[in-house]
A and B are shown apart, each in its own frame.
Chain A
Amino acid sequence: MTGPTSDATLTVSGITKTFGGLTAVSRASLAVAPGSVHGLIGPNGAGKSTVIGIISGFVRPFEGEVRFAGRSLGTLGAADIARLGLARTFQQATPIAGLTALENVMVGMHVHYRATVGAVLLRLPVMRREARAHEAAARRVLDEFELGADVDADAADLPFGKLRFLEMARAIAMLPRILLLDEPAAGLNTNETLRLEAIIRAQAALGTAILLVDHDVPFVFRLANQVTVMNFGSVIASGSPDDVYRDQAVREAYLGPARDTERTP
């Protein structure tokens, strides 16, 4: 894991994206430092998912730039960005059907494989050692995520809660330097949410820069070091959770007076 240098900060500056005349994101900027959790909140349609899509390379911005590890991600494809150390999870978990839970996690670990095609097909010892090491690591991660009993299950057959954790396991097994989490707590029960929190904290402690998007505002505020609030495609506030919480514009636009009592310290 790389140390917390400014180079390893994920910087999004002034990105704009329109879809057929509709502005999804307008000059949005944010920065996620290594080892920190950055919360991104906002009402539905605020442009949060588009920001994540742009960072991960699936959506091209019209304006602005995403930088990481000293380079602009603008011209890179999603696979290249993943290889630079970015992992993400989706609102709707996306297991690869037909692959077992173990294989799902191992596929993500391929970003770290060094064996060449020839070595794999000829089953050279170097490749077999590497494959064994990766399989052991994948099993460890699945055990940590309480999926030890499901390693051989087809990922598509797992129930909702387990899928969410499988997706987290797959992302974390990639040893990411940036982790984008899109609504990771949606649909989880209290217990599962607490487990998820512990996982996210532990991952931040390892030095990963985490961008956390969620509707569950208390959940985000509990975890985040920094919070950015978006509305109608624009950033309307950003700062520490306390500052953002006190921000009048945020209260009006998003939190609303009724949500006041919901906040947990």
Chain B
Amino acid sequence: MILILAIGLATGCVYALIAVGYSLEYRTTGVVNFSEGNYVMVGGFSTWWFLTSAGMPYPLAILAGTIVAMLCGLVLWYAVVLPLWRRRSPPYVVLLGTIVFGAIMATLALLLLGPLPQTLPQWIPGFSIVLGDSRIEGQYLVVLALTLLIIAAITATLQFTSIGREMRACAASRDTSELLGISPERIGVLSFAATGAIGGFAGAMITPAQFTSADVGLPYGVFGFAAAVLGGFGTMRGAFVGGLLLGVVNAVVARFISSNYQAVIAFALLLILLAVRPEGITGKSWEESEP
């Protein structure tokens, strides 16, 4: 049971980090980016390539993998979102653009890195802890600790730096911030790059505990989105709570019921919860939070 909890929490961390990206991009630019799960795939998969094929030292490979995912975020912004934005395309067109971009990332990964699932070594070799009669791999703890650290760092950046202030201003009111000289396009670049990097790092982090392959992006994206909605779309706290909850529910369902029904049951729970609390677990009501 403890092992299942550990697996659930670690996967939940990845959902949480994806949810953070959804929130960041949605709040600052109004774009829901459905290619986000693929940053996790790109981050994990390219780290594997940098480590095994390019022969980089492990920490450098992780950094390179994160940067590749960040570049994917930037390409999406400059090549897809920005041109659509400038033409004042409706949100559903932008949404479709991000889905197509995600599919392109998955296809490229398949072509360049192959169809086989790959994994990475533990970040701290030989580290594991024994709780009761279960042995928990150290990587799960690494993921949990680093996720907490990343979310704390993002929260602090948003709260205490001038750039964070600009992003919060842009999230609260894009028109007013524009009058104050804050360019929404600049904020867009920042949040898309940050989201790419966060997703990529999450991928590099979770791959040693699980595996990665060209097709894991979509499910990650969907579960991350569900986590964001579940927690309360648009808040860091909501992303974290929603991610962990969904991760644990998934792991428990997979272990005790069936991994085939994992998604169905998780989403049924999501629907029930949203029927009771439409604004998500930690979210404010829509009237309060809408600018």
Contacts and interface: CB of A to CB of B under 8 A. Distances in A.
A and B: real partners? yes
B180 A107 contact: yes
Q: In which size bucket is the chain B interface?
A: 20 to 34
Among A88, A97, A111, max chain B CB count under 10 A is at A97
A191 B183 CA distance: 37
Interface in A85-140: 87-88, 94, 96-99, 103, 106-108, 110-111, 113, 115, 117, 120-121, 123, 127, 131, 134
B227 to A, nearest CB: 22
Contact of A111 (B157, B168, B180): B180
Contacts of A120: 161-163
Contact of A107 (B169, B190, B291): B169
A174 interface: yes
B181 interface: yes
B162 A96 contact: no
A100 to B, nearest CB: 10
Nearest to B288: A97
Interface stretch (A75-83, A208-216, A230-238, A244-252): A75-83
A120 B165 CA distance: 12
B180 A110 contact: yes
B168 A79 contact: no
A133 B166 CA distance: 17
A58 interface: yes
Given A80-B183, A97-B172, A107 B178 contact: no
A193 B67 CA distance: 55
Interface string A47-65: 0000000001010000000
A58 B174 CA distance: 12
Given A96-B172, A97-B172, A117-B190, A110 B162 contact: yes
B176 interface: yes
Contacts, number: 80
Contact of A99 (B172, B175, B178): B172
A170 interface: yes
B184 interface: yes
Contacts of A123: 161
Secondary structure dominating the interface of B: helix
A83 B157 CA distance: 24
Contacts of B190: 117
Contacts of A117: 163, 190
Interface residues of A, number: 32
B177 interface: yes
Given A97-B172, A98-B168, A99-B169, A82 B179 contact: yes
Contact of A79 (B161, B173, B184): B184
B181 A83 contact: yes
A117 B70 CA distance: 15
A130 to B, nearest CB: 8
A138 to B, nearest CB: 11
A169 B208 CA distance: 53
Interface in B180-233: 180-184, 190
A82 B157 contact: no
A111 B183 CA distance: 10
Contacts of A98: 168, 171-172
Given A82-B178, A99-B168, A115 B183 contact: no
Given A106-B165, A110-B166, A131-B162, A94 B184 contact: no
Given A79-B182, A99-B169, A107-B165, 7 more contacts: A77-B183, A79-B178, A99-B165, A107-B177, A110-B166, A110-B180, A117-B163
In the A-B complex, list the 5 residue pairs whose CB atoms are closest, starting with the nearest.
Answer: A82-B181, A111-B181, A79-B183, A78-B178, A108-B180
5 contacts: A79-B179, A110-B162, A111-B180, A131-B162, A134-B162
Interface of B: 157, 161-163, 165-166, 168-169, 171-173, 175-184, 190, 291
